[in-house]
Amino acid sequence: MKIEQIYTGCLAQGAYYIESNGEVAIIDPLRETQSYIDQATKDNAKIKYIFETHFHADFVSGHVDLAQKTGATIIYGPTAEPNFDTHIATDGEVFSLGNITITALHTPGHTMESTTYLLKDENGKDYAIFTGDTLFIGDVGRPDLAQKLNTDLTQEKLAGYLFDSLRNKIMPLANDIIVYPAHGAGSACGKNMSKETFDSLGHQKEVNYALNP
């Protein structure tokens, strides 16, 4: 199993390349897709899935182009309604990738379709979560953006969804799980993000103000 964080400093954005036994998943790809294809070719692997943690407002995703070039399936979380070919995951749906699995955990709050992807290693052990804009290192996602798209959603409602997502879906997970967010310090998606680009969930439970009881 290989996990590579592809971090773009000017956007404070993390995309992810995951490979297992000749199959690849890309999480939150940037617009320019050739580097992902080149890496898969180098690994003698095929890109099988493109996971989107949510609809992005601060950069253009390369998911559609990457899917067209590779035949990979684009995955979004529940409630997403894109106007292009995609698979809408159900909460708890499991996707096989080589010798590992990736489980979709619906974590609304930043946006309503926001989804965290839980990676289990070759032994079936919870190994990492790719949290998008739900949980950052040092902060959590803003709950005031999606209301601009749906007037029925207030920031108070979104904050309530986010609170439940964090406490019911993410915080019960094991402390040694690695947290890989979509953004770091410098992004407008949070206010207190660390310059670190990943951390253990246990440490975030200790130091992240938004996870404090």
CATH numbers and ranges of domains, the chain: 2-211 (3.60.15.10)
What pTM does this model have? Answer: 0.92
Binned at pLDDT 50, 70 and 90, residue 148 comes out as low
Residue 150: its pLDDT value, please? Answer: 62
Binned at pLDDT 50, 70 and 90, residue 188 comes out as low
Residue 44: its pLDDT value, please? Answer: 97
Pick from 31-35, 78-82, 129-133, 187-191 the range whose average pLDDT is largest: 129-133
Share of the chain above pLDDT 70, in %: 87
Residue 166: its pLDDT value, please? Answer: 97
Mean pLDDT of the chain: 90
DSSP H stretches of helix in 43-150: 63-70
Least confident span in 38-42, 55-59, 122-126: 55-59
Give Cα separations from 13 to 118, 151, 172, 182, 205 (angstroms). Answer: 19, 28, 26, 6, 22
Least confident span in 21-30, 184-193, 203-212: 184-193
The pair of structure tokens assigned to 141 is 């996602």
**Alpha-carbon span 91 to 107, nearest angstrom:** 9
pLDDT at 16 exceeding the cut of 90:
yes
Q: Which residues contact 36 (CB under 8 A, 6 or more apart)?
A: 15, 17, 24, 26, 29, 47, 62, 66
**Alpha-carbon span 202 to 2, nearest angstrom:** 22
pLDDT at 189 exceeding the cut of 90:
no
With residues binned 3-state (H G I as helix, E B as strand, rest as coil), the percentages for the chain, rounded to 5, are: 20, 30, 45
Mean pLDDT, residues 95-110 taken together: 97
pLDDT at 210 exceeding the cut of 70:
yes
Residue 190: its pLDDT value, please? Answer: 59
